């Protein structure tokens, strides 16, 4: 099998499994317990927190472990919005980018439906880039929080988070970014980005599913979403998943090292693949920004041939990819991301996303590009 669906999930790294094993077997204590085995678990947890903080360039106390990217996004948006409005009832609006993941869009919708917030959507251009002027114009004295993703999961477009976050800071509005796809692919220094909150997910980096983190800058107003025993300084109750935190920290460290040593080579393999697909399949469109995109992202529309047909034919040849986000797999609706970018519904229905990882080999990519050419040669309308 040639696996080109790393944006959906990644295999667990052997080093991550190795790092988890002692925690699952020997250091099984509850990190809140004050005996030896509890304290050993606490030490493993806090060591993981320090390692995550080192990658983000923040303080360990600013790292909250979560059950994944979805929870981190929910906490980043709802937790800040609710706290901000509790202090200042006039702050009853949130701004979100038009091509956010459902974890952000549905959180915004919840704030509107249940808590009476208004949601302002920052539009994107045809390449998926948030319009900076339109974004600035949405910021007001009434904005409680904004959320704009670092990089898009369907088309790979990277936003200029630093300049959007600077505009939000000038307006006195906390800035959350969903960096789930950016982890291991783009620099994650929260100081350089200037963000107040940032979400990450372990399973996109080589950890098992069900773990992630939220960076929450100290003194950012935050209302916990999960209440209970007051773990993680009361910001996220529940006995911590120590093995998950260790897995997450280990995977993030490895992914970051790979980014530094091999990110440019991955982008070069991707560029050659994109050129080969466009060559083999005349009429194909690259979606998203041609340069400002994740190094492993190659997403296309193949007008005239449904995305499902291409996926099925590729899978018959042992090649696995997706038509868009994994959450929308099987849906017959055109992608909301592509339609927000102004792509017509019938073209959006033809989307195919290839997402590469550091181990993806050029010779496999050459095979995939040739296969795409054959499939389109067979199915494209004359």
Joined together, the tokens standing for residue 154 give 């369907």
For ligand PLP, the closer CB: 201 or 371: 201
Biggest CA–CA distance in the chain, Å, is: 73
Joined together, the tokens standing for residue 171 give 């307006």
101 binds ligand PLP (CB under 6 A): yes
Q: How far apart are CA 243 and CA 178, in angstroms?
A: 23
66 binds ligand PLP (CB under 6 A): no
Among 68, 174, 194, 244, interactor with ligand PLP by CB under 6 A: 68
Q: Which of residues 326-355 bind ligand PLP (CB under 6 A)?
A: 326
CB of 335 to ligand PLP, least distance (A): 13
Joined together, the tokens standing for residue 45 give 């947890």
Among 16, 49, 65, 73, interactor with ligand PLP by CB under 6 A: 73
CB of 149 to ligand PLP, least distance (A): 6
- What is the helix, strand, coil percentage profile of the chain, to 5? 45, 15, 40
Nearest residue to ligand PLP on Cβ basis: 69
SS3 state at 9: coil
- Each residue 191-220 as x (binds ligand PLP by CB under 6 A) or -, in order, gives ----------x-x--------x--------
For ligand PLP, the closer CB: 201 or 299: 201
> Tokens 């979403």 sit at which residue?
225
69 binds ligand PLP (CB under 6 A): yes
If we measure between CA atoms, which residue out of 87, 297, 114 comes closest to residue 204? 297
DSSP 356: -
CB of 102 to ligand PLP, least distance (A): 8
Burial degree of 324 (CB within 10 A; 0-12, 13-18, 19+): buried
Instruction: Provide the binding-site residues for ligand PLP, judged by CB under 6 A.
Output: 68-70, 73, 101, 103, 149, 153, 178, 180-181, 201, 203, 212, 326
């Amino acid at each position: 099998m040639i696996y080109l669906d790393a944006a959906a999930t990644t295999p667990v790294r052997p080093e991550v499994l190795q790092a988890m094993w002692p925690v699952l077997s020997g250091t099984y204590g509850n990190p809140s317990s004050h005996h030896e085995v509890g304290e050993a678990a606490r030490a493993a947890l806090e060591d993981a927190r320090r390692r995550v903080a080192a990658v983000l360039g923040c303080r360990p106390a600013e790292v909250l472990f979560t059950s994944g990217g979805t929870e981190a996004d929910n906490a980043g948006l709802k937790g800040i919005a609710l706290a901000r409005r509790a202090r200042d009832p006039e702050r009853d609006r949130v701004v979100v980018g038009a091509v956010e993941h459902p974890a952000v869009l549905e959180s915004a919708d919840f704030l509107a439906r249940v808590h009476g917030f208004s949601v302002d959507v920052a539009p994107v251009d045809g390449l998926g880039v948030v319009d900076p002027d339109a974004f600035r114009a949405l910021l007001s004295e009434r904005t409680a929080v904004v959320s704009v993703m670092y990089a898009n999961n369907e088309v790979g477009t990277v936003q200029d988070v630093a300049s959007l976050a600077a505009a939000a800071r000038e307006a006195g509005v906390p800035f959350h970014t969903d960096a789930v796809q950016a982890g291991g692919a783009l620099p994650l220094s929260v100081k350089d980005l200037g963000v107040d909150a940032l979400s990450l997910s372990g399973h996109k980096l080589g950890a098992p599913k069900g773990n992630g983190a939220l960076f929450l800058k100290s003194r950012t107003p935050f209302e916990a979403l999960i209440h209970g025993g007051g773990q993680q300084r009361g910001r996220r109750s529940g006995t911590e998943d120590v093995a998950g935190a260790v897995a997450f920290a280990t995977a993030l460290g490895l992914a970051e090292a790979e980014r530094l040593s091999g990110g440019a080579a991955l982008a070069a393999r991707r560029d050659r693949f994109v050129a080969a697909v466009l060559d083999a399949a005349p009429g194909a469109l690259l979606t998203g920004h041609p340069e400002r995109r994740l190094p492993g992202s190659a997403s296309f529309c193949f007008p005239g041939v449904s995305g499902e047909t291409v996926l099925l034919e590729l899978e018959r040849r042992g090649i696995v990819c997706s038509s868009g986000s994994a959450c929308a797999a099987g849906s017959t609706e055109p992608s909301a991301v592509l339609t927000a970018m102004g792509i017509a519904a019938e073209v959006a229905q033809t989307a195919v996303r290839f997402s590469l990882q550091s181990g993806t080999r050029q010779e496999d990519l050459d095979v995939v590009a040739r296969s795409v050419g054959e499939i389109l040669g067979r199915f494209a309308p004359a």
